[in-house]
Amino acid sequence: MIETTADTIPIQSFKTPQGGPMTAYLFVPYPLDHAPSQRFRFEQYLAQLEAAGIRCRVSPLMSPAMYRIMYQRGHFFLKAAYCAKALFVRLADVWRARGCDICYVHREAFPIGPPFVERLLAWLGKPIIFDFDDAIYLPNASAANRFVEPYKNSGKTAAIVRLSDTVVAGNPYLAAYAAHHNERVAIIPTTIDTVRYKPLARERGPRDRVCIGWSGSRTTIAHLRLLTGVLRALHERFSIRIKVIGDRTFAIPGVPVEAQDWDPADELKSLSDIDIGLMPLPDEEWAKGKCGLKALQYMALGIPAVCSPVGVNTQIIQDGVNGYLASTDAEWIDRLSRLIQEESLRQRLGQAARETVEARYSVAANAPRYIAVFRGVQARVHSASTVMRGIA
């Protein structure tokens, strides 16, 4: 049975097979099915872990109400009250985790201050699996929460890595950082559930305009602004639609933009309306830690993506084979113009993109690796216990 300590999240049940059972306590920041960082990292594997005999108890730090308010501007005192309550949630989690075999930490157990939760778990002798998919060891805070940046203590990531039995990194760039502090590092990419994400058949009329789209959040919308000039030039040259998912306030003066907030109930339908997906990134250290989620979402739906050649994008995208890479405005305009004008090119690159995700970036392809990480920690703990009993 998969459990959660949040009263507002329903308990989900899965049948646990006989043989080799173990329990894992998952310390995660966000409510289930709310944040891409979680949905496309561990949440998609909960059923597979349970089926493999790994009983998971999931404890989100934030309630849905807290999550809704934390990334809005203002509300200082309400945010402080939520954080104080969250501190007690985490202390209670440490107490509950005493009866579990393994503790899993996604990104960090508590966002402010030193890694006191991880240190308590280590003191209790609990092996930790630490999973991260961003360069969280670099100073960073959302625009709505700049006031907490001095207290986030990004340097604690190295301490968490050292305290962990095993580290799961979302890409080789993050893995290289982790390897400086821990010898056991597994690379498991951010993945897509290709059973749920399927290309949808679309009826196209002769007057339908090609839709160029971007999906993200208000914390990453600045990346799309890098293409303001490109989108303006394309609008002037072609009769296209521009769709933005994740920030309904986004606008380009003089250019029609269909902007909307992200809606989990409408996610696949909204994405499937896009003909060409965008993933611009600045060439900086934080962006190099990104795991290519936007591109993978487009690609799983058979939508060709045009991406900046930054970080893992250069491994996901084979330029001209399953998508395009573009650095300068001229390159962006050239690649996008080709795709706008050639439907057969969009279809060819989109099919190759889907095949790439199925082979390398799908839940089905990576579930055995996730399970192997948990079982590997269990085996080491069992071996250590056997040795200690022998010594005694």
What digits encode the pLDDT tens for the residues 106-145? 999 998 889 999 999 999 999 999 999 989 888 755 444 4
Structure tokens at 314: 């250069």
Q: Which contiguous run of DSSP H or E holds residue 331? A: helix 329-341
Task: Reply yes or no on whether the pLDDT at 7 is more than 50.
Answer: no
Task: Reply yes or no on whether the pLDDT at 288 is more than 50.
Answer: yes
**Cα 321 from Cα 298, distance rounded (Å):** 15
* Cβ–Cβ under 8 Å, residues 5 and 57: yes
Question: What distances in angstroms separate CA 388 from CA 23, 266, 375, 385, one per listed residue?
Answer: 22, 54, 20, 5
Task: Reply yes or no on whether the pLDDT at 387 is more than 70.
Answer: no
What is the SS3 assignment for 24? strand
Q: Binning pLDDT at 50, 70 and 90, where does residue 4 land?
A: very low
Ranges of beta strands (E only) in the chain are: 3-4, 22-28, 54-60, 102-106, 128-132, 166-169, 185-187, 210-215, 240-245, 258-260, 276-279, 305-307, 324-325
- Span 180-191, average pLDDT: 94
Task: Reply yes or no on whether the pLDDT at 175 is more than 50.
Answer: yes
**Cα 30 from Cα 17, distance rounded (Å):** 29
Question: What distances in angstroms separate CA 256 from CA 8, 76, 205, 232, one per listed residue?
Answer: 39, 35, 21, 10
* 171: exposed, middle or buried (Cβ count in 10 Å: 0-12, 13-18, 19+): buried
- Please give the domain boundaries of the chain with CATH numbers for all domains: 3-191+363-391 (3.40.50.2000), 210-360 (3.40.50.2000)
Determine the pLDDT at residue 215: 94
What digits encode the pLDDT tens for the residues 25-81? 999 998 888 787 888 888 999 999 999 999 999 999 887 777 677 666 666 677 777
* Cβ–Cβ under 8 Å, residues 336 and 306: yes
- Pairing label, strands 210-215, 128-132: unpaired
What digits encode the pLDDT tens for the residues 325-364? 999 999 999 999 999 999 999 999 999 999 999 999 999 9
**Mean pLDDT over all residues of the chain?**
85
* Cβ–Cβ under 8 Å, residues 352 and 321: yes
Structure tokens at 331: 């390159």
Q: What's the pTM value of the predicted model, to 2 decimals?
A: 0.84
Q: What is the DSSP string of 107-124?
A: S-S-SSSS-HHHHHHHHT
Task: Reply yes or no on whether the pLDDT at 14 is more than 70.
Answer: no
What digits encode the pLDDT tens for the residues 300-331? 999 999 999 999 999 999 999 999 999 999 99
